[in-house]
């Protein structure tokens, strides 16, 4: 099947909300329907950006100045857009991306205090006008999501998972505040079952692509 046009779908939310599981399920769903899609992630998605990801997700919480950290995320994004996202959309395929710009506004903006005007200026320069068509915001009680993260691998938490409860709580509130600001945002109650959430997502996607 040939898609009508390239479609860009992003998954956003805090740690342990289940968005990576759901982005994979959506990718499998497209494959089963012979719809051309790719599944990718940020920070990362291509060799150079995965190298930058290692610098960002490993090590101590305060290893970077917040502005350096914002620049690194944007550097990774620039390569990812240039090498993967843009060419794939130009081939009229669907791009599913686990995190994108909204994560920078949440983590480096709200979480680490980098000004939104600086982040917006950077973003404008690097995105080449590429914007998600639909963004699922995964929302769940912080106590539940952080418990899930600790259960995953207590000794191998990434740098962001080590930030304190109030950091994660502010990020959750920011993501929730995006709902209704743009039509592309869809709130997902991440406390529901994997099957229920997948069905909800595919219902929205079918409205988008058909
Ligand atoms: P994850 O892929 O397991 O969610 O880990 C990536 C981490 O990177 C996640 O904790 C959020 C963080 N992040 C930012 O701080 N800013 C960004 O722009 C992106 C894309 C991710």
At 2-27, the pLDDT tens digits run 445 799 999 999 999 999 999 999 99
Cα 130 from Cα 123, distance rounded (Å): 10
Q: Is the model's pLDDT at 130 over the cut of 50? A: yes
- 140: Cα within 13 Å, side-chain hemisphere: 21
Percent of the chain residues past pLDDT 70, beyond the cut: 98
Taking residues 64-88, report their average pLDDT. Answer: 98
Q: Mean pLDDT over all residues of the chain?
A: 95
Q: Whose CA is nearest to atom 5 of ligand 1?
A: 57
DSSP-assigned letter for residue 42: S
Taking residues 97-118, report their average pLDDT. Answer: 98
| Tokens at 101, concatenated | 């710009």
Q: Is the CB of 75 under 6 A from ligand 1?
A: no
Cα 74 from Cα 56, distance rounded (Å): 12
- 94-98, strands of its sheet edge to edge: 37-41, 94-98, 7-13, 134-139, 185-189
Of residues 210 and 75, more confidence is placed in 75
Residues 6+ apart with CB under 8 A from 178: 102, 135, 137, 185
pLDDT at 1: 45
pTM metric for this prediction: 0.96
The secondary structure element, H or E, covering residue 8 is strand 7-13
Distance from the alpha carbon of residue 64 to the mean position of ligand 1, in angstroms: 14
Percent of the chain residues past pLDDT 90, beyond the cut: 90
Residues 6+ apart with CB under 8 A from 24: 39
Residue owning tokens 């081939």: 91
SS3 labels along 175-201: HHHHECCECCEEEEECCCCHHHHHHHH
Q: What is the pLDDT of residues 194-206, one digit of tens each?
A: 999 999 999 999 9
Q: What is the pLDDT of residues 131-153, one digit of tens each?
A: 999 999 999 999 999 888 888 87
Taking residues 34-40, report their average pLDDT. Answer: 97
- Contact 142/165 with Cβ under 8 angstroms? yes
Of ligand 1's atoms, which has the minimum distance to the CA of residue 43?
20
pLDDT at 151: 85
Q: Is the CB of 102 under 6 A from ligand 1?
A: no
Q: Is the CB of 14 under 6 A from ligand 1?
A: no
Taking residues 25-38, report their average pLDDT. Answer: 98
Of residues 3 and 175, more confidence is placed in 175
Taking residues 38-43, report their average pLDDT. Answer: 98
Taking residues 164-186, report their average pLDDT. Answer: 97
Burial of residue 135 (number of CB atoms within 10 Å: 0-12, 13-18, 19+) = buried
How confident is residue 39, by pLDDT bands cut at 50, 70 and 90?
A: very high
Q: Is the CB of 104 under 6 A from ligand 1?
A: yes
Pick from 39, 40, 66, 107 the residue to mutate for probing ligand 1's pocket: most ligand atoms within 8 Å of its CB: 107
Burial of residue 210 (number of CB atoms within 10 Å: 0-12, 13-18, 19+) = exposed
- The residues that bridge with 9 in the sheet, in sequence order, are 96, 134
């Amino acid at each position: 099947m040939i898609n009508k046009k390239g479609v860009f779908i992003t998954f956003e939310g805090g740690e342990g909300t289940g968005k990576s599981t759901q982005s994979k399920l959506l990718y499998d769903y497209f494959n089963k329907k012979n719809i051309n899609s790719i599944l990718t992630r940020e920070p990362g998605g291509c060799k150079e950006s995965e190298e930058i990801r290692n610098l960002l997700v490993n090590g101590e919480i305060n290893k970077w100045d917040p502005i350096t950290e914002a620049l690194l995320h944007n550097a990774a994004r620039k390569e990812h857009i240039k090498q993967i996202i843009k060419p794939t959309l130009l081939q009229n395929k669907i791009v599913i991306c686990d995190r994108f710009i909204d994560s920078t506004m949440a983590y480096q903006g709200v979480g680490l205090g980098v000004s939104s005007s600086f982040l917006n200026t950077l973003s404008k320069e690097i995105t080449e006008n590429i914007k998600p068509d639909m963004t699922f915001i995964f929302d769940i009680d912080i106590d539940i999501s952080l418990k899930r993260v600790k259960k995953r691998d207590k000794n191998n938490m990434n740098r962001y998972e080590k930030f304190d409860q109030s950091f994660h709580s502010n990020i959750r509130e920011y993501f929730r505040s995006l709902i209704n600001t743009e039509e592309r945002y869809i709130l997902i109650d991440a406390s529901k079952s994997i099957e229920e959430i997948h069905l909800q997502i595919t219902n929205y996607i079918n409205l988008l692509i058909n």
